[in-house]
Amino acid sequence: MDEIPDEVRSKVEKLRKEIEYHNYRYYTLNDPVITDYEYDMLVKELQNLEEKYPSLKSQNSPTQRIGSKILSGFLPVRHPSLMYSLDNIYSLEELKEFDERVKKLSDRDEIEYVCEMKIDGLSIRLKYEKGELVLAATRGDGEVGEDVTDNARTVRTIPLILSEPLDVEVRGEIYMSYTEFKKLNLIRQHQSLPLFANPRNAAAGTLRQLDTSEVARRHLDSFIYTLENPRKYGVKTQWEALEFMRKIGFKVNGESKIAKNVDEIKEYLEWCEKRREEIDYPIDGAVIKVNSFEIQENLGFTAKAPRWAIAYKFQAEQVRTKILNVTIQVGRTGTLTPVAELQPVRLAGTTVKRASLHNFDYVKERDIRIGDTVIIEKAGEIIPQVVKPIIEERTGNERPVEIPKVCPICGGPVGKLDPQDVAIRCLNPYCPAKLEAWIENFASRKAMDIHGLGEKMIKKLIETGRVKDPSDIYTLDKDFLSKLEKMGEKSAQNLINQIEKSKSLPFYRLIIALGIPMVGETTARLIAKRYHDLDALQNAKKEDLMKISGIGEKVATSIEQFFSLEKTKEMVEKLKSYGFKGSQLESQSSDQKILSNKRFVITGTLSKPREEIKNWLLSLGAELSENVSSKIDYLVVGENPGSKLDKARKLGIKIINEKELYEMIDQLSKTSS
């Protein structure tokens, strides 16, 4: 191994400290002193040196913030001292009792307190050795938490390298801002995933993600408020500790204040209540701590909590109102969501007329009825939701919320795609509410791969009435497209070229594009091996479809029902008349099948289109499946892998990431050549 010049080591160390300083200025102080371009150049210079000298790479390098690991799980960590929780109070009377108790136990007439906002996140313990982060652990039960160091490294406000080379431990809170919470739920809604109820749940779920790059994308944040063994650093009060931690690189909440009596604490609480509606992070109260560490030590702890601190919890703002009716929303993927139409009421500064009932299971579990007087609140201060009905106030005229027998938009059948699914969906593929998502699927990479036919363009085409089902895409012409807003002749011609190109794709791609319920890529490939064109497929009977290995009764029934619809028949005829080729699946490469008899499942997002990787694996002789079972040899894991990863672990299946897949195939190729 080549010797690394001293000047390179020095340069790398200097760059890391410089980048961490600018991270602190940007993410913690919100006061950058260099441009984004200058910052990017520093990072690029460090990346280049780390690539050139791999032995200099470090987990605590700022270049590792984006996350790249798939974790196998979280190891338990025993805390060196108990991570206590705080006793809660909810009234000024209880606050006065706390103050009197502290004065009595400390034998003092006056006590100085530090008042801090109570961040609604999850507790974290951070350990540094010689100024470098070596451990991040959750609170757990107070005695044993979990090692989440790799995920914590992606949080920009958690310093990887302190401004001083200290051995130090601190504690604080990791949270998700309201802005990031809204973004995350919008993404999940678009993907038909369950929404997080509040920022705290979102932060907790994110910190326990096994994919570190997914954690990085969700932009968690932190506030640090506890310094362990403060006297070791000459720190005598909580106020000094906050300043000390800020000085060495931690993000400390600037909304803290010193209070010398209960009246000043009360003023702070009132101020916090007002600030609660203005700040971008969730708080659920305030923490009042004795400022002097000497007095804290004298007061000590009960079995569960410190005697020198208390958490004043704000009451969640809830109001009573009446459910006048329940309407049904149909989402872009066909999910039916019950929505309570309310007697208008003021809640958290806004007038609320509607509130989410989430799903029909939620309604059933809480026995919510039309006509009920109910309690509502804003989940995470954002989404109005019905908490519970006030059963004692029922008159007998209340009506149960019924699951619709048909879709309220199109009148089509409704049901669950999977018995374990919570969501009730419209099963009519031609439902107008689903048209946009259907056409997006048709034009997607895994299907017809029509570049230029994105979400905005699809909305325009639907609004003009020109596209009523995916087959209408093939009626578009240059003259029509070029007249659309922000579409010139060149863009129009490019889109026409992409549409024409899609006609020559393998038949299985068209099967995916049709959007047949319960038919994904693997099933589409199986079908295309048996039925080579649209005529053959639309005439296939359920019994014949079930003869295909891998296709069960439910999927076969779904395929038969789809092609029995008159609208499907019309669409198939149109596709054929537009010159669509129903060509067979590409023949596999004649190269050595180095993956013969090896079965793969892919989960999560990869660096390349999944379809491209699947084609590559198939060409090497691999077999692909959508489901994890004991017959699978490898699970290839990308970003945000989901439940398949847990199942593979339980079954002892070999789990590899994308890089390991390439390395394995490269090695097999060399061995077989």
Distance CA 214, CA 191 (A): 15
Active site residues: 118
Of the pLDDT bands very low, low, confident and very high (cuts 50, 70, 90), residue 589 is very low
- In this predicted model, which residue has the larger pLDDT, 191 or 513? 513
- Is CATH 3.30.70.640 the classification given to domain 599-672? no
Is the pLDDT reported for residue 1 higher than 50? no
CB 171 within 8 A of CB 125: yes
524-578: pLDDT as tens digits? 888 888 888 888 898 999 999 988 877 888 889 889 988 998 889 999 999 988 8
Q: What is the pLDDT of residue 289?
A: 97
Domains 88-313 and 318-400 share a fold: no
Q: What is the pLDDT of residue 27?
A: 62
The CATH label, of 1.25.40.10, 1.10.287.610, 3.40.190.10, 1.20.210.10, for the domain at 6-64 is 1.10.287.610
Of the pLDDT bands very low, low, confident and very high (cuts 50, 70, 90), residue 334 is confident
Helix (H, G, I), strand (E, B) or coil at 312: strand
Of the pLDDT bands very low, low, confident and very high (cuts 50, 70, 90), residue 134 is very high
Q: What is the pLDDT of residue 26?
A: 66
Cα separations (Å) of 69 from 23, 77, 640? 22, 20, 11
Is the pLDDT reported for residue 451 higher than 80? yes
Q: What is the pLDDT of residue 420?
A: 62
> What stretches of 329-454 show up as alpha helix (H) in DSSP?
360-366, 435-443
CB atoms within 10 A of CB 219: 18
Percentage of the chain lying above the pLDDT 90 cut: 37
Q: What is the pLDDT of residue 263?
A: 96
Q: For 234-256, what is the mean pLDDT?
A: 96
Query: b vs e for 396-428, b when ≥16 Cβ sit within 10 Å of the residue's Cβ?
Result: eebeebeeeeebebbebebeebeeeeebbbbbb
Q: What is the pLDDT of residue 635?
A: 92
- In this predicted model, which residue has the larger pLDDT, 670 or 236? 236
What tokens were used for 338? 């019950």
CB 603 within 8 A of CB 644: yes
594-612: pLDDT as tens digits? 888 888 999 887 766 676 6
Least confident of 46-60, 332-346, 389-403: 46-60
Q: What is the pLDDT of residue 645?
A: 86
Q: What is the pLDDT of residue 124?
A: 96
CB 220 within 8 A of CB 203: yes
CB 475 within 8 A of CB 578: yes
Nearest to 249 by CA among 162, 337, 132: 162
Of the pLDDT bands very low, low, confident and very high (cuts 50, 70, 90), residue 188 is confident
Q: For 306-314, what is the mean pLDDT?
A: 93
616-644: pLDDT as tens digits? 788 788 888 888 888 899 999 887 777 78
- In this predicted model, which residue has the larger pLDDT, 186 or 635? 635
What tokens were used for 64? 């590792």
pTM of the model: 0.55
CATH number attached to the domain at 88-313:
3.30.470.30
CATH topology for 432-577?
DNA polymerase; domain 1 (1.10.150)
Q: What is the DSSP string of 552-616?
A: -HHHHHHHHHHHHSHHHHHHHHHHHHTT---PPPPPPPSS--TTTT-EEEEESB-SS-HHHHHHH
Of the pLDDT bands very low, low, confident and very high (cuts 50, 70, 90), residue 142 is confident
Average predicted confidence (pLDDT) for the chain: 86
In angstroms, the first-to-last Cα distance of the chain is: 29
Q: Quote the distance between the C-alpha of residue 437 and its chain's center.
A: 20
Percentage of the chain lying above the pLDDT 70 cut: 91
Residues in the chain: 673
Q: What is the pLDDT of residue 274?
A: 86
Report CA Rg, the chain.
30
Contacts of 163 by beta carbon, 8 Å cutoff, 6+ apart: 17, 20, 21, 24, 131, 247, 248, 249
Q: For 124-144, what is the mean pLDDT?
A: 92
Query: Sign of the C-alpha dihedral, residues 585, 590, 594, 598?
Result: positive
CB 563 within 8 A of CB 537: yes
What tokens were used for 257? 């204040």
Q: What is the pLDDT of residue 583?
A: 47
Least confident of 136-145, 248-257, 288-297, 367-376: 136-145
- In this predicted model, which residue has the larger pLDDT, 61 or 263? 263
Helix, strand, coil distribution of the chain in percent, nearest 5: 40, 20, 40
Element (H, E) at 663: helix 658-672
Distance CA 487, CA 471 (A): 21
Report the relative pairing of strands 599-603 and 634-637 from DSSP bridges: parallel
7-30: pLDDT as tens digits? 888 888 888 888 888 877 766 665
Is the pLDDT reported for residue 316 higher than 80? no
Query: b vs e for 33-72, b when ≥16 Cβ sit within 10 Å of the residue's Cβ?
Result: eeeeeebeebbeebeebbeebeebebebbbbbbebebbbe
Report the relative pairing of strands 318-330 and 373-379 from DSSP bridges: antiparallel
- In this predicted model, which residue has the larger pLDDT, 607 or 196? 196
78-87: pLDDT as tens digits? 898 888 889 8
What tokens were used for 146? 């979990």
Is the pLDDT reported for residue 113 higher than 90? yes
Is the pLDDT reported for residue 379 higher than 60? no
What tokens were used for 351? 């007038």
The CATH label, of 1.10.10.10, 3.40.50.720, 2.40.30.10, 2.40.50.140, for the domain at 318-400 is 2.40.50.140
Ranges 45-49, 152-156, 205-209, most confident: 152-156
Q: Quote the distance between the C-alpha of residue 180 and its chain's center.
A: 10
Where exactly are the structural domains of the chain? 6-64, 88-313, 318-400, 432-577, 599-672
Distance CA 108, CA 627 (A): 67
